[in-house]
Amino acid sequence: MKILPKLRIGKLQPKYPIIQGGMAIRVSTGKLAGAVAREGGIGLIAGSGMEMDEVRNEIRIARSIAEGGIVGINTMAAATEFMDVMKTAAEEGIDLLVAGAGFSRDIFDLAKDYDIPIVPIVSSDRVAALSEKLGASAVVVEGCEAGGHLGTDRPARDIFPEVKAKVKIPVVLAGGVIDKNDIIEAFELGADGVQVGTRFAASFEANVDKAFHDRYLQAKKGDVFRILSPVGLQGNALETVFTQKVEDGTVEVPACINCLKKCSRRFCIVKSLIEARSGNLDKGLVFAGEHVYRINEILSVKDIFHNFFDGLENKD
């Protein structure tokens, strides 16, 4: 019988040591976050690209599903509205703030003002140590296996021991977690928890069209490739008609809405992610982790939890 560690992030302690990744734009909304929280994990709403009223509404939807479980929000630090989204969530009583795709010092003051745990996503021991110094309650170590924007070209399992040796706060491993064996491996490495994105994107509760899910199920080993995002970071994605247009320079770029603090305007990241979620793969960017090829069916969140944790025992 494998024993699960207890994940404590500030005053929060989920039944299971798992955080659902915050996947934008509008892939992980209140429905997915609430379902994960209800099953005993930490559910995250992806706040990037949302209007403030939408942020409030999605938090309320998640709460109505979560049955008292832990609901957080993840927003890209690179987004222009980053602090507005995080403050709105804090005012709405969110349980946890997770910041990725860049680093923000301002978010630590907001977390202190509202007494909410802050968890930065990091890709080095240096940034992890800085996060701890500024008041982070935990860090998520994300490597090059993960879906979406990446902060490194190194695997999380190589970076993890360096971070673990550097900080005293909980360290959560992200990237390449698809099944129970990956969960066990992470905890044998000494992880305090895991963050899972791609497997939850392939759930019925994820807010995506069937064409998005079909693209996941069609993926073969090696299909995930790196695309340079307008954010200035590499991202892991699956090839679509749209990505082919990006690579050959024929993609049409819409009028800029200034959604990013800095943008190359190579293509519109927000529009392309919305199109993918909606099933328009000729216009959409499908983010996915390197291990997406191991997913062969769409499941409910409840079934994903059963597959992850049946036969594993919580530590007293």
CATH number for the domain that contains residue 91: 3.20.20.70
- Are 135 and 216 within one domain? no
C-beta of residue 108 within 8 angstroms of C-beta of residue 136:
yes
Phi, psi (degrees; rounded to nearest 5) at 275 = -60, -40
Instruction: State residue 156 phi and psi, 5-degree precision.
Output: -60, -35
Are 254 and 181 contained in the same domain? no
pLDDT at position 251 is 77
Q: Is the pLDDT of residue 3 over 80?
A: no
Q: Are residues 158 and 269 in the same domain?
A: no
Asked if 201 and 215 sit in the same domain, the reply is no
Name every residue whose Cβ is closer than 8 Å to that of residue 197 and which is 6 or more positions away in sequence: 20, 21, 22, 23, 146, 147, 148, 174, 289
- Region label for 272, one of left (φ > 0), alpha (ψ between -120 and 50) or beta (otherwise): alpha
When comparing pLDDT for 8 and 4, which is higher? 8
Q: Which domain holds residue 279?
A: 210-293
Contact 299, 204 (CB under 8 A): yes
**Together in a domain, 195 and 116:** yes
Confidence (pLDDT) at 133: 97
Identify whether residues 186 and 218 lie together within a single domain: no
114 and 14 fall within a common domain? yes
236 touches 146 (CB < 8 A): yes
The answer on 159 and 99 residing in a single domain is yes
pLDDT exceeds 80 at position 67: yes
Lowest mean pLDDT, pick from 59-63, 133-137, 145-149, 291-295: 145-149
Q: What is the pLDDT of residue 316?
A: 54
Residues 64 and 176 in one domain: yes
Predicted structure pTM score: 0.93
Report the percentage of the chain scoring pLDDT > 90.
Answer: 75
Residues 6+ apart with CB under 8 A from 133: none
Looking at the structure, tell me whether residues 216 and 158 fall in a common domain. no
| pLDDT value of residue 1 | 47
Residues 223, 198 share a domain: no
> pLDDT tens digit string along 124-155?
999 999 999 999 999 999 999 999 888 889 99
How much is the pLDDT for 233? 83
**Tally of structural domains, the chain:** 2
Q: What's the mean pLDDT in 116-128?
A: 96
Closest by Cα among 302, 304, 313, 300 to 38: 302
| 128 shares its domain with 55 | yes
